[in-house]
Structures are given as C-alpha cells and as structure tokens.
C-alpha cells in the first residue's frame, strides 16, 4: 500500500472517530500522549482526534460527553519546504521530527514545539517550515477555534532520476546533471493532507486563552480589550465597567485613584503586567492610567490568587497581559484627542526573523491632559462671604511618556522564549488641591517620577512533562515632590505673594527619593499524569530607598530622608491541579509561605544627628483551594477559598521621613476569602449567544493597616478588622449575526467594621464609610457590517453606570439627614465607531461623548470629576 493511501486511511479513521466515539484508544493515547498541559484537552468543550500513524487504530472521545459531533479537525492547505542541513543533504540522511503545533482560529501556526527530535539540524529545519504552514482552522459547529496537533515531518529524498542533459550553456552538450530536492509537504490523495507530514494527534481547544481561564477552577474575571482599544475610555473606565470592581478618581486623566475589588482596596490588591509587578514594569502612575492600547487582556483574580504570580495579595490581583503573539511582522498605532486638551498616543511593533527565531518588539506611549474642566466651588466675595461659582481648574495638568524594547529568541529547541526587555517611563502631575478635599486651591504643587529597568524572561519545556518559567529584573526610580511656593492662590489662578513657603503644609518641601528594587520568579511545572499537575513557585523581591530634603529646617542636622531603608519579601508556593471525570471536575489546591526582612535607620527622638538601626523578620503561611465542576456543555459552577496575607509595603513601614513616621512592628494583614458562583454560557443557541454569571463572596480581614494622625504627624498601624459580604451578577446577550449586543452587571458589597477593640471598636457592626456599596453597569451595542466596503463595520455603543449614594462618615455619627454624603449618580456615554478592514490593514475611527447628560460627577465627597466631554480616536493596525 502506498504512503498516500496510508495517509488517507489515517485521516478517514480520525474522521470516523469524531463521528463514532468509543473506539479503543491506541497504546500511546491511553498513556496520555503529550505529557504537558497544553497538549491535552483544556475544557469540557474540547475533543481530540488521533491518527497515530498511517492505518493505525484511532480513538476520538468527547471530553464533554455529548454534542461534539460537529467538531472538524484542522486541515493542511499550504506546506513549506524545510531547509535541510547541507551535511544531511550530502549524506542523503532521512528521518522524522514530531512537532506539537498550535493553530489559531485563522489557520496560522502560532507555536511549534519539537517533542520527538531527530537532531543534527533537522529539528530546527522542521520547526521553521512548520511555522510557515497554513491550515483550514478547526471548527466547532462551523465556528473556527484554536487547536493543537502533533505533526510528524518526515524527511525523505526522492529516488535519483536518470541524468538529463544540462540546458546551461556553460554545461556543454552531453553533460549530465542530477537535481536533489529536500522534503516538503505536498498535497496527497485529498485536500488538506500531506505526503510527507503525517498527522498523529489533533486536540481542538475550547476557545482562546481568555476562555480557557474563564472555564478553569481559578476565581477569575477576564476582560478582552479588542473593542476598548478602538474606544476612548482609559484603563480605569474599562475596569470600572466590571462587576465587583470600583475605580474612584479625584479628577481627570492622571489623577490619584482608589481601586477596590470585592470590598478590599488599594494595596490590598496587587497589580501586574505580564506577571511582573506594575511598579517594576515601567508604570509607576497606577493601573488606571496604563494605556489601553498596550494591553490585550486583563485578568482579575477575585480574592484567590494563583501561586504562579508569587503575590502577597490580600484581596486579589489584576494582571495586565500585553500582546503575546510572536509571529511575523505586526504594528499598531493609535491617537486620541479630546476635551480639556487631552492627547494620547500609543504604538507597538514587532518583527520575527523566522529562520533564526530572533524577535524584536517595541512599544511606546505619550499622554498629556491639561484637565482644565469646569467645577463648582465656594468662592469668597469682597466681604469674605462664600458663594458658589463656576471656575476652571488651572493647575491639574498630567504628562507621561514611556517606551520599551524587547529583544530575544522564541520557539527555539533550547528556549520557547528568551526575551530581554528594557524600559524607561516618566510622568509629572500638577496638584490643584489637597487629596480628597476641593477647598483650598494650589498653584505650584507638583510631583513626578522617572523609572527605568530591565527584565529577562525564560520559558522552556524540559521534557517528560516538566516546564520552567523564570523571570528576573531590576528597576530604578527617582521620585520628586515640590511645594515651595510663597503664593496664596485663589480659584481664578491669581497669586497673592508674601505668604509662608509651602501650599500643602506648614513648611516647604523639595524632596527627592531614590529607589532600587529587584525581583525574581521561578515557576516549575510538572505533569506526571494527564490528570495531575504540580507547580512550585519562588518569588523574591527587594527594595532599598533613600532620599533628600533640599529645604531642611535645620541645614546643620542630618536629613531624615537619607536614612538607609531596606526590605526583602519572599513568597513561596506549591500547587496541585487535579482533573477528573473527563475534565468535568478540576481542583487546584495550594499553600504559600510569606517571609519579610526589614532594615531601617531611624533618628533617635530628641537627637536629630543620631540614628539607630533596627531589623525585623516576619514569617506567615497561607493556604487555598479552587474547584470547578461542569454540569454540562453550557453550565458550570466554581467555589474557591484562600487564607490570604499581605506584607506591609515600604511606605507603610518606612514612612516618608517627614510627615509619616516609620512603623517597624507592623503586622501583615490577613483575610479569609471565599467565592462561590455559577456560569451559564451558551454561545451557539438558536436565539444567539448567552452568558450569565452569578457570584457570592466573603472577605473576613484582620489587622488592617490604616494611616492615623493628629493633623501634623501620622503613622500606619494595625487597628481594625472588617467583613465584606457581597453578591455580583452579570448578563450578556449577542444576537444571531452579532448585530446587537446587550451587557449588564450589578454589585452589592456590604463591607462592615468588625473591630471589637481599639480606635474603631465603638463603630463595630457599622458599614464602612466613604465607600460605594451598590453599583451597576449597562451597555448596548448595535452594529452593521458591509456598510461601505466588503469587510467594514459601523457600531453605535451606549454605556451607563449607576452608583448609589453613600455616607462620608460613620452611620452613628450625627443625624442621618445632616450627614455629609456622596449622592447617587447615573452617568452615560455614547460612542460611534467605524472599522475598515483592508487586508493586511485595519483602520478604526471613533467619536465619543462622556458624561453625555453633563451630570455632576463625584467619586469622593466634594471633589468634582469632569462633566460632558468629547473625544475622538483613530487606530491603525497592520
């Protein structure tokens, strides 16, 4: 029987296995086939088709148990010739290399990993050729989906043909020549099959990485930013549209932000970019101001954080994921302009040199906003009687710029990824008034920071089910704070000279801080069996800080900011993942250890010139578990728990050397975090695509760290405990044809003080003040296709957000009708987007109105946010 006939038989056997599951599996299939995670089915919607060799027995069994008969495997439609090593060509050496290919939903080979090497240069040659293959994508119910296959590239040379006369003039008449060709995939007996490339296994995945994460046992919410990149909303607004998430701001672009997740907030949540802490990744200005167009996906971990992040997160974590695609050449750029003199520019580009695997990637951004929006404030008249007046903010500008370069190698036999990234970022922010109080205007107070650093990342499967991921980096930061003005400003920007220096405090400050920090993370994953996976994680981090007050009250004394401060954190973790019942059940059990070492020089009270050194070390343990059970193809439930810890951050321990004292004996915060929820996800129903989620959560936190003070000197301390009970729900419907998309969510967050002793004991049982406890989001999108061109799209999107009113202070203080409060708010925005797809380019243009009805908007009491504003944005991708 010919090889072509064998290939055809193998293909037909695989197809029959899809249609008639239950045929006994071949030996290697029963043993698990590919040992590591990506090579096995990832969810209950996945199925695998196996054709282990030409003519061999085949097994295909649906992991969901039903409804997978419509799955079609990928088919090869375009091969590529391998560059055979010269020595092997001369010796006419033959053999085969087995590769694991990741084929995306467009039929392109995104990854190629050698799993059965041949050596002597054949592995690299086969892999380089496979990356140029083109397939028809795998399909589920007619919808293209990503898939993985094992593919055997066979190196076979044709029989030498009889010598033929050379047609070259230099050859002369009668001179014989023999032409030897290298192997190449060629069409076989039917379209999509190859003569010398035999498919040995196919695994169809249940969607992209975002969907895999959603359907895992992790307590996670995933936001894909494809449409957000075309819109003008910033990252803070994108996050605020998610259930359970609160983003409160004191002004416009670049303003200070309070981020909350299921009751806990700010430093109780950890932030990352591609698994690297946000501050170490070149974004010192906070998560709300990270340019959306540099991010592809947002992962929000609700109170239970996987060990691979190496985080001491009390209430959860947010991981911003940049473009992970490493194929070919790609570039994108966007420019936004709008009200309040806002300008935002972002660009990314990459190029992969396929023969060598060398990757170069660059990214950059430039942001500017004057933030001179109108506000209503109390302004005194000539008799010093205050009256409401509408004025424009005049000292609130924000400037930020940054860029990064990433170089390295990808998809080599010795490294799946080896990448070195360098970055430089700077920002400068003017302050219009004291944080959280819009009473006294400032005219010259500013702060800023410049951060630069490098990071090295290495990822590689080591064989036999073992894979390693390592990352290490260093960052240097220089921060400034300037408040030396002798002017007293009014709300119209007029300066009254002759006052004491310093607008924000009783004394001037001209401060500089220098910070050196380093971090590392080593993740080792081992899959001894298809149903079991083990992961170990080690994550050290160090920070050293010093500073200089250039306007000292006592020039002869030692500056307290010059004191040496050092902090080292270690977070270790071990995790076990179990998949049972054909992947219906997934459980992840983990333990963590938290270690912190502190070193501090502090001045001796009453002796400004004398300093003493103090040291402290802390050890804590944590544990957690995540469970997911799939009841059917469209319905699954999750439950998760973590006894979480947060180690004190440097600012809390060291103070600022001026107004905030050091507190070396701060205890780590602790919290019992629990989640339980259910998801109904029907993407292929006759009435359209439906996704319904409901989740309940508990956060029982202890030893919470709070800044206390007497108006002059402050200090952080462990003073109270709190308990959050909440429910959140979301619904999304996409009509057949995707002409209409409706989306909505609601969150109820009951966060109450449970302290029975200390400063807040008399408020036990009361709702925590100055925090929203009921909020909701909604959106409606109507889109038309082929409006003016074959692949264009026109979409009109309406967004709304409701926040119920809440008190500024404790409920028991004063009469309810006299209490200061933030009123209920209902804000709307409207966007019109046009997208033109002119392969290989995609161009989009958006015009958008924020706060469409010009409602007074407040995230903090008395601090007004921008009213109605208009923005436009253009984006080019190619």
- Tens-place pLDDT, residues 211-255: 889 989 999 999 999 899 999 999 999 999 999 999 999 899 999
Min mean pLDDT across 67-71, 312-316, 572-576, 756-760 is at 67-71
Query: Nearest to residue 604, comparing CAs of 558, 543, 635?
Result: 558
622-635 pLDDT, tens digit per residue, is 999 999 999 988 99
The proportion of the chain whose per-residue pLDDT surpasses 90, expressed as a percent, equals: 52
Three-state secondary structure call for residue 582: coil
In this predicted structure, what is the pLDDT of residue 41? Answer: 29
Burial class (CB in 10 A: 0-12, 13-18, 19+), 134: middle
The proportion of the chain whose per-residue pLDDT surpasses 70, expressed as a percent, equals: 81
Whether residue 67 is predicted with pLDDT greater than 80 in this model: the reply is no
Token pair of 465 as six digits: 């089910």
Half-sphere exposure of 90 (CA within 13 A, CB side): 3
CA-to-CA distance for 295 and 224, rounded, in angstroms? 9
DSSP 8-state code for residue 710: S
Please give the distance of CA 249 from its chain centroid, rounded to a whole number. Answer: 21
Instruction: Compute how many other C-beta atoms are within 10 angstroms of the C-beta atom of residue 394.
Output: 19
473-492 pLDDT, tens digit per residue, is 999 999 999 999 989 899 99
Three-state secondary structure call for residue 529: strand
DSSP 8-state code for residue 433: B
In this predicted structure, what is the pLDDT of residue 99? Answer: 87
Mean pLDDT of the chain: 82
CA-based end-to-end distance of the chain: 47
Query: Nearest to residue 233, comparing CAs of 778, 760, 831?
Result: 831
In this predicted structure, what is the pLDDT of residue 559? Answer: 66
DSSP string, 404-420: EEEEEEEEETTEEEEEE
Q: What is the mean pLDDT of residues 598-616?
A: 64
Ranges assigned E (strand) in 686-804:
688-709, 714-734, 740-753, 774-785, 793-803
Query: Nearest to residue 844, comparing CAs of 160, 227, 247?
Result: 227
Whether residue 410 is predicted with pLDDT greater than 50 in this model: the reply is yes
Query: Nearest to residue 377, comparing CAs of 487, 492, 495, 489?
Result: 492
Q: What is the mean pLDDT of residues 341-352?
A: 96
316-335 pLDDT, tens digit per residue, is 999 999 998 888 899 999 99
148-163 pLDDT, tens digit per residue, is 888 888 887 654 433 3
CA-to-CA distance for 764 and 584, rounded, in angstroms? 43
């Amino acid at each position: 029987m010919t090889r072509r006939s064998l290939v055809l038989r193998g293909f037909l056997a695989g197809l029959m296995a899809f249609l008639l599951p239950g045929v006994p599996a071949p030996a290697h299939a029963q043993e698990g086939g590919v040992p590591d995670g990506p090579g096995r089915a990832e969810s209950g919607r996945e199925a695998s088709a196996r054709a282990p060799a030409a003519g061999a027995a085949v097994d295909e069994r649906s992991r969901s148990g039903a409804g997978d008969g419509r799955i079609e495997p990928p088919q090869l439609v375009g091969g590529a010739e391998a560059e055979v090593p010269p020595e092997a060509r001369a010796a006419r050496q033959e053999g085969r290399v087995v590769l694991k290919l990741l084929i995306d939903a467009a039929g392109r080979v995104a990854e190629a990993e050698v799993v059965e090497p041949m050596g002597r240069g054949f592995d690299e040659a086969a892999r380089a050729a496979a990356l140029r293959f083109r397939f028809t994508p795998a399909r589920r119910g007619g919808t293209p989906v990503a898939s993985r296959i094992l593919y055997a590239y066979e190196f076979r040379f044709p029989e030498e043909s009889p010598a033929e006369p050379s047609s070259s003039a230099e050859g002369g008449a009668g001179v014989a020549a023999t032409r030897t060709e290298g192997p190449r995939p060629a069409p076989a007996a039917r379209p999509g099959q190859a003569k010398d490339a035999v498919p040995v296994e196919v695994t169809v995945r249940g969607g992209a990485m975002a969907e895999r994460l959603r359907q895992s046992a992790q307590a996670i919410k995933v936001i894909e930013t494809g449409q957000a990149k075309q819109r003008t909303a910033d990252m803070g607004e994108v996050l605020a549209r998610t259930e359970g998430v609160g983003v409160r701001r004191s002004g416009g672009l670049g303003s200070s932000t309070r981020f909350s997740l299921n009751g806990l907030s700010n430093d109780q949540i950890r932030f990352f970019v591609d698994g690297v802490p946000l501050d170490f990744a070149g974004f010192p200005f906070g998560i709300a101001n990270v340019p959306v167009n540099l991010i592809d996906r947002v992962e929000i971990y609700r109170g239970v954080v996987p060990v691979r992040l190496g985080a001491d997160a009390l209430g959860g974590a947010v991981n911003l994921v940049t473009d992970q695609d490493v194929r070919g050449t790609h570039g994108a750029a966007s420019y936004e302009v709008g009200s309040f003199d806002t300008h935002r520019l972002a660009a990314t580009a990459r190029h992969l040199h396929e023969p060598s695997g060398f990757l170069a990637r660059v990214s950059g951004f430039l942001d500017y906003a004057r933030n001179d929006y109108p506000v209503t404030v109390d302004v005194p008249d000539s008799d010093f009687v205050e009256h409401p007046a509408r004025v424009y903010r005049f000292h609130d500008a924000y400037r930020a710029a940054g860029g990064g370069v990433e170089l390295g190698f990808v998809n080599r036999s010795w490294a799946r990824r080896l990448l070195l990234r360098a970055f430089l970022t700077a920002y400068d922010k003017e302050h219009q008034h004291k944080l959280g109080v819009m009473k006294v205007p400032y005219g010259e107070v500013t702060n800023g920071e410049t951060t630069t650093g490098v990071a090295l990342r290495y990822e590689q499967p080591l064989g036999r089910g073992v894979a390693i991921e390592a990352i290490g980096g260093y960052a240097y930061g220089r921060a400034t704070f300037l408040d030396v003005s002798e002017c007293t400003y009014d709300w119209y920007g007029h300066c009254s000279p002759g006052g004491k220096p310093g607008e924000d405090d009783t004394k001037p400050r001209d401060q500089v801080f220098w910070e050196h920090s380093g971090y590392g993370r080593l993740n080792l994953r081992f899959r001894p069996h298809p149903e079991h996976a083990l992961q170990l994680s080690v994550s050290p981090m160090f920070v050293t800080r010093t500073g200089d007050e250039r306007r000292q009250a006592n020039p002869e004394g030692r500056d307290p900011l010059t004191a040496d401060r050092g902090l080292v954190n270690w977070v270790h973790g071990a995790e076990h993942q179990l998949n049972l019942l054909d992947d219906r059940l997934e459980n992840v059990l983990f333990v963590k250890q938290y270690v912190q070492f502190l070193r501090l020089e502090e001045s001796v009270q009453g002796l400004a010139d004398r300093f003493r050194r103090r040291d402290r070390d802390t050890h804590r343990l944590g544990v957690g578990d995540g469970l997911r059970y799939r009841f059917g193809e469209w319905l699954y439930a999750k439950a998760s728990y973590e006894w979480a810890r947060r180690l004190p951050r440097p600012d809390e321990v060291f103070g600022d050397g001026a107004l905030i004292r050091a507190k070396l004996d701060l205890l780590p915060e602790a919290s019992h975090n629990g989640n339980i929820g259910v998801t109904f996800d029907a993407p292929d129903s006759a009435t359209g695509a439906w996704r319904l989620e409901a989740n309940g959560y508990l956060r029982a936190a202890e030893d919470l760290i709070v800044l206390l003070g007497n108006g002059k000197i402050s200090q952080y301390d462990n003073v109270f405990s709190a308990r959050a009970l909440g429910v959140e729900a979301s619904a999304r419907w996409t009509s057949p044809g995707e002409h209409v998309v409706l989306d909505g969510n609601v969150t109820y967050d009951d966060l109450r003080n449970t302290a029975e002793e200390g400063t807040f004991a008399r408020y036990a049982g009361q709702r925590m003040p100055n925090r929203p406890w009921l909020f909701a989001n909604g959106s409606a999108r109507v889109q038309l296709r082929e409006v003016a061109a074959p692949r264009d799209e026109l979409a009109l999107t309406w967004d709304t957000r409701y926040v119920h009113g809440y008190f500024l202070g404790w409920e028991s203080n004063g009469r309810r009708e006299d209490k200061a409060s933030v009123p209920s708010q209902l804000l709307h925005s409207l966007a019109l987007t046009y997208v033109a797809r002119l392969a290989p380019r995609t161009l989009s243009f958006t015009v958008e109105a924020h706060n469409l009805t010009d409602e007074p908007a407040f995230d903090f009491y008395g601090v007004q946010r921008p009213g109605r504003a208009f923005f436009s944005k253009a984006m080019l991708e190619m």
